[in-house]
Amino acid sequence: MLRLIAVFLFVCSLMTPALAQEAAEDPRAQTGGAQTLDDILRRQAEQDVDDEFRRSETGDPSAAAPTTEPLGTLGGQSDPDLWRALRYDTADVTTQIRGPASTTLIQDSGMWWLEVREGPMLIYGAALLGGTLVLLALFYLIRGRIRIDGEKTGRTITRFTGVERFGHWLLATSFIILGVTGLISLFGRKVLIPAFGHEAFSILAIGTKWVHNNVSWAFIVALVIIFVFWVVHNLPDRTDLAWLAKGGGIFSSGHPPAKKFNAGQKLIFWAVIVLGASISASGISLLFPHEFNMFGATFAKLNDWGISGLVGLDPLPYPLSPQAEMQYAQLWHAIVSLVLTAIIFAHIYLGSIGMEGAFDAMGKGEVEEQWAREHHSLWVEEVRDAEALRKKEA
């Protein structure tokens, strides 16, 4: 009988942990409130993990032991409690350094920014620019250069004044310099350091940063100049619909009627203005760190409007640390710049080797009359009517 009782008690002792495990409602009861295997697996799969159970575990000052006790010098916090508070930016940090970012000692989103900048940003950026150049080369091989169809007259029409061309070339030159120096900064660590070494790249990086920061002001000034001079000619009208419907005559003979700027040029103009203004705004934010916080307020508005939920995404992060503001500004600055660079590639192609007579517009300011009649017939009529009216008044 005693043997049976001993065996029964032994079996019950083996079953007790299993029963407790099944009965536990808190999945973290087995880990003492720490991470579970499921948390680790989700993190490895790059899935979201609710870490609220750790955020709040930062110690309790009211539970501080007396100074005579072994833990008295730590108050109500252990070392892990203190590091969690630093990580989640809830610690009461004081410093002699004054500045918006001085009290943020650990910032998790910095790793996300670094991974995006050194991974998808480089891959997709290179694919965008390289793919654009390949498509333009294929288009040239298939379509060839767009020639002037009719017989040249030898007469020219003034297309752009000296001030207009100054604004255009200031914008073009500054954009090319900014593009080259920006690409060096973006791709330098992955491409140039392995090729030339750290010391050579350091000298190059310092120089390109100085050039990039200072040439940016010329780009902003030029952006204002071309907007003032050309915005009135780039407002949409009914002729743009007909031009777009016929593809601008790029894939066929003959060109749809157009005013001083056709629909394709208007699209490029507004892309330069809108994207250029966005690049300028984020660039100014980077030039003056922590002075212009663009993204935190924007994310808050988008969350209030439920925009992220409409596309099936989680709410955008808010509030943002000062460092996160700069990281989002840097990513936005780079992404928009890459998109605008791809658009400018197409613009340069059509304004040079892609179309006969197009470069004269900005090179000399004067264009062949036959070219003008084929590509901007409505504008030629406006110019001739204005000349006739001036002669009549004289």
DSSP 308-356: HHHTT-PPPP-S--HHHHHHHHHHHHHHHHHHHHHHHHHHHHHHTTTBT
What is the model's pLDDT at position 5? 57
What is the model's pLDDT at position 172? 96
Q: How many CB atoms lie within 10 A of CB 267?
A: 16
pLDDT above 70 covers a percentage of the chain that reads: 87
What is the model's pLDDT at position 248? 83
| Degrees to nearest 5, angle at CA 136 with 279 and 219 | 25
pLDDT digits (tens, 9 = 90+) for 148-182: 888 899 999 999 999 999 999 999 999 999 999 99
pTM: 0.80
> By the 8 A CB rule, do 317 and 299 touch?
yes
Range scoring the smallest mean pLDDT among 250-254, 275-279, 319-323: 250-254
Range scoring the smallest mean pLDDT among 122-126, 288-292, 367-371: 288-292
What is the model's pLDDT at position 223? 97
pLDDT digits (tens, 9 = 90+) for 204-226: 999 999 999 999 999 999 999 99
Model confidence at 6, in pLDDT bands (50, 70, 90)? low
Highest mean pLDDT among 55-59, 105-109, 140-144, 388-392: 140-144
What is the model's pLDDT at position 218? 97
Structure-block tokens of residue 218: 């010329």
Model confidence at 24, in pLDDT bands (50, 70, 90)? very low
**Paired strand residues for 67:** none
pLDDT over 80 at 298, yes or no: yes
What is the model's pLDDT at position 3? 58
> By the 8 A CB rule, do 113 and 295 touch?
no
Classify residue 158 by its DSSP letter.
Answer: E
pLDDT over 80 at 288, yes or no: yes
Please provide residue 156's backbone torsions phi and psi, each rounded to the nearest 5 degrees.
-125, 160
| Degrees to nearest 5, angle at CA 92 with 330 and 74 | 130
pLDDT digits (tens, 9 = 90+) for 314-341: 888 888 888 889 999 999 999 999 999 9
Place of tokens 């509030």: 319
pLDDT over 60 at 18, yes or no: no
pLDDT above 90 covers a percentage of the chain that reads: 49
Q: How many CB atoms lie within 10 A of CB 358?
A: 18
Range scoring the smallest mean pLDDT among 59-73, 121-135, 333-347, 363-377: 59-73
pLDDT digits (tens, 9 = 90+) for 74-93: 566 677 777 777 777 777 77
SS3 50: coil
> By the 8 A CB rule, do 228 and 187 touch?
no
| Degrees to nearest 5, angle at CA 8 with 6 and 14 | 105
Model confidence at 25, in pLDDT bands (50, 70, 90)? low
The mean of the pLDDT values for the chain is 85
Residue 269: closest CA among 347, 215, 378, 333:
347
What is the model's pLDDT at position 4? 53
What is the model's pLDDT at position 260? 94
What is the model's pLDDT at position 32? 60
Model confidence at 13, in pLDDT bands (50, 70, 90)? low
pLDDT digits (tens, 9 = 90+) for 37-49: 888 888 788 777 7
DSSP 198-248: HHHHHHHHHHHHHHHHHHHHHHHHHHHHHHHHHGGGGS--HHHHHHHHTGG
What is the model's pLDDT at position 30? 66
pLDDT digits (tens, 9 = 90+) for 348-373: 999 999 999 999 999 999 999 999 99
Place of tokens 């400018």: 344
pLDDT over 50 at 23, yes or no: no
CA distance 138 to 132: 10
